[in-house]
């Protein structure tokens, strides 16, 4: 038959998602401090969305935002984050 497809797609998801409709939040080791994250992107919209997403995870805390590579370097020196989430293609100095 023309125009029909016999391909099927299998999508894996945690059982908790299938039951509740929500992605599970990983358990947090209360003895460990949260991971400190610096978000670097020239898009304010992305920085804000990433911060909202990460705020849902109790083992992560956003310690700063930067809109350029230069600003990221100075904030990294000052804030000492555990992780830098950085855009790879920004004007000027990029990731």
Average pLDDT for consecutive 10-residue bins of the chain (95 residues)?
A: 50 54 61 91 94 91 94 94 92 73
- Residue 19 CA: distances (Å) to CA of 25, 27, 29, 43, 53: 14, 18, 25, 35, 22
What is the pTM for the complete model shown? Answer: 0.67
Closest alpha carbon to 86 in 58, 1, 76, 78? 76
Q: How many residues comprise the chain?
A: 95
Query: Other CB atoms closer than 10 Å to residue 66's CB: what's the count?
Result: 23
Quote the pLDDT of residue 9.
47
């Amino acid at each position: 038959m023309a125009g029909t497809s016999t391909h099927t797609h299998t999508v894996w998801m945690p059982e908790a998602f299938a039951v509740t409709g929500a992605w599970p939040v990983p358990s947090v080791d209360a003895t460990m401090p949260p991971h400190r994250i610096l978000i670097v992107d020239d898009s304010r919209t992305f920085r804000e969305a990433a911060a909202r997403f990460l705020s849902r995870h109790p083992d992560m805390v956003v310690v700063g935002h930067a809109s350029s590579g230069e600003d990221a370097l100075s904030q990294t020196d000052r804030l000492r984050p555990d992780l830098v989430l950085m855009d790879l293609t920004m004007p000027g100095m990029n990731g």
